[in-house]
Every structure is written in structure tokens, then in C-alpha cells.
Amino acid sequence: MQQVSARFLPALCGPHRVQVMIESRRGASVLYSGIPVVDGSVTVDGTAVCRRTLSLTVPPRLSTGLYSDRPSLPDSPSHPLAAYGQELHVSYGVVYTDDSVEWVRAGVFRIDSTAGSLLGDGTVQVTARSREAFIVDARFLAPRTVSGPSVTSLIAQLIHEVLPGVEVVVAASRDARVPTTTFDEDRAGAITSLAESIGAVWYADGWGRFVVADAPSTTGTPAWTVHAGEGGVLVSASTSTTRDGVYNAVVVRGESPSGDFPPMQATVYDEDLTSPTRWGDPHTGRFGMVPRFESYPTVSTLEQARAVGRGLLAQSVGAAHTLEASSVPNPALEPGDLVHVITDPADPAGSVRAHIVDGYTLGLTAGAEFPIRTRDVRQVA
């Protein structure tokens, strides 16, 4: 979760107001500050290459800011809502009872399209994606052969080739050398493969920085407790169970096409005693045996292979039992956050369960719902 003050989460349970600030920039230049919002939302999805997407509805004209009474529909490549590299910086503010505001960054979005009436008699629709979109577009012009002493340094290099001025934050606890490896034209796919080879994920955060971090963990201290009843933030909750797409073991194989290291293999199992997808005999209360197989030309050690397996397994643990909930908006959440969900206020100790956040939708207008998608991990002891 994004870093917030000590008063932020408690304030979500009580009376507060919200504010949204949207600024258009092109490079270092501010094109427009305070874009008016008729409607809109930010969708955050930890399973997508572009983690954040923006859908925005604005009035026919921009009547404040640097442009006075200018049409919202772009009339030149330098227009603040044109799709020529313009980015929208979105901030979501919680207004406390003393009228002070705490701002959380909801994302930096490259405008992909803007549409509306040329007569100026209707709203204008804007769609945008977070900065991973630049990486997805910048495919290699020819197959790319790489090698080096550090996976994270190579990831930063591949990002900086496209966006030289962007900050890359390395928060992964592991690194490894990169044996001679050839990738096809997919730059984003190459970065994903490199990140997975050290049990990590990569994404653009709410500030527009690129982050290389450990894959989500199914254990640890919860970032937020979502509970129903008086003083709670849980508005509604529904659940579903399925076996589709669920696996509970990962077999990771490493084999260098260049012969830099001998073939090797490691297997990681879901063996958590409290996990609903625990590996083993289903007639003894376990889920069964559903392995997933992955091969990486950049995985060269057993320790590295186990780290990859643990990261991939964390994406599936609990997927058989999912929760779709609606709560008071919390814009500081990130996919992969561990949260505790209490559905029965009369029995909080008996109904609390741990969930991993997969994604959510943050409305940009007052009173908007905040649907969260999570995976159930286990009952909390």
C-alpha cells in the first residue's frame, strides 16, 4: 500500500470528503491544471501488463486553468487532451473534518484516445493507460540478445531505452546474473520474463515510477482491515469458488540455449496447513495435485528457480475462493496487498480471513462505489 499518514485509514471509517485533481503534462511542461471531471474511474489490475487504466468524462469546454474556455476536444497536437504523448497526473484527496487534505497518487496515464462532438454540445470521453503502455509499444526492431551481471540493471536499461528520464525503483530482494539470452520483438514480455526469473514483478506505480518488487506474498502483516458493521468500511461482499485456472505446485525449469549452465529444475508446492488449495490427496481434505510448468532461459540456479516458483504460486494460492466486495474507497491500495476481511461484525474473530488484492476500481466522483477483487488465502488464526 502507498505510504499514508496515521490518520488516513481511520478517517475512511468516519465522515470525510474527497477531492480529485487532474493535471495534463507533456514531458516537463504543464499543459493544464485542474481538468474538470464529469465522471470517471481508475481501474487497477495486478494481472495486466498496464496496471492502471483511466476512463474520464469531461465537459465540452475547459473553462479554468491555463486555457480559458478552450474546447475539451483536441484542436491541435499541443492540446492538453491530445494523444501525442500527453499524460494525465491523477491525485485523489481525502478531506478531513478540519478541512486539511491528504493526497494519494492514483496514477500517471498516457492519453490513448479522446472523442466527442465537434459542435461542443456533449461531453468528451478520454481513455488512458499507465506508463507500461510506452514499454508495450516500443517493441525491439529485431530479436535482442542480452547478458549481464544483474537482472534488475538490465530491466532498468530496457525501460530507460524508451523513457530515459523515468525513475526505476528496485525493491526486489533478489538479483541474479543474466546468461546469454535472446528475446523476440516483445520488450514488455522480455522484462516480465526477467522479473519472473528472480521472483519479482514490474509495474508503474501511482507516481509514474517503474517498480521492480518481489511478487506478492501470502503471509505478513495486513495493509488494511475491511470489516462490516458499525464503524466499518465494507458495504457489500459476494464470493465464488471454482477450480478453473487454479494450480498448487509450480515446476520451474532453467536451460540456457547458449550452454552457459546445465539444465536444472525446482518444484514448489502449496503446503500451507491453512491453505484451501493445499497440495495432496483430496480424500484427506486437500485440494488435489495441479502442477504448472514454466521454463526460463535466464534461471540458472536452484535458489533462483525456487524464488520464481514461490512468486508464481502466490498468484494462484486462494484463487479457488474469490471475493468481490464494495467498500469505502481506499486509493492507497496496491495489487498484491494483504488485507483482512471481516464479514460478520458479531463474530469478528471467527469470520476474519486473509485476502490478497488483485485489483479494484476507484471512482473519481463523490459517492462512487469501490469494488475490490481479492483471492482468499486462509483463515486467520
**How large is the average pLDDT for residues 36-60?**
95
What is the arrangement of strands in the sheet containing 264-269, beginning at the earlier edge strand?
Answer: 264-269, 249-254, 291-296
Residue 378's pLDDT band (cuts 50, 70, 90): low
Kind and range of the H or E element at 295? strand 291-296
Provide the 10 A C-beta neighbour count for residue 75: 12
* pLDDT above 80: residue 55: yes
Most confident of 13-22, 67-76, 113-122, 271-280: 13-22
Which has more pLDDT, 120 or 223? 223
**pLDDT, average across residues 174-184:** 91
Residue 261 confidence (pLDDT) above 90: no
Whether residue 22 has pLDDT greater than 80: yes
So where are the chain's domains?
A: 8-130, 136-214, 249-314, 321-379
For residues 109 and 42, what is the distance between their CA atoms, to the nearest angstrom? 10
Assign 179 to helix, strand or coil.
Answer: strand
Binned at pLDDT 50, 70 and 90, residue 68 comes out as: very low
Residue 327 is predicted with a pLDDT of 85
Residue length, the chain?
A: 381
CA 318 to chain centre: 18
Rounded to the nearest 5°, which phi and psi values hold at 159?
-75, -45
Please report the pLDDT score of residue 381 as a whole number. 40
Determine whether 151 is exposed, middle or buried from the number of CB atoms within 10 Å of its CB (0-12, 13-18, 19+): buried
Q: Does the pLDDT of residue 69 top 70, yes or no?
A: no
Q: What is the pLDDT of residues 102-148, one digit of tens each?
A: 999 999 999 999 988 777 778 999 999 999 999 999 999 999 999 99
User: Can you tell me which residue has the cell 462512487?
Assistant: 368
**pLDDT category, 250, cuts 50, 70, 90?**
very high
Q: What is the pLDDT of residue 313?
A: 86
Rounded Cα–Cα distance for residues 305 and 314 (Å): 14
Domain 136-214 falls under CATH 3.30.470.10: no
Query: Cell 535482442 sits at which residue?
Result: 144
Non-local (6+) Cβ contacts of 349 within 8 A are none
- Highest mean pLDDT out of 60-64, 77-81, 208-212: 208-212
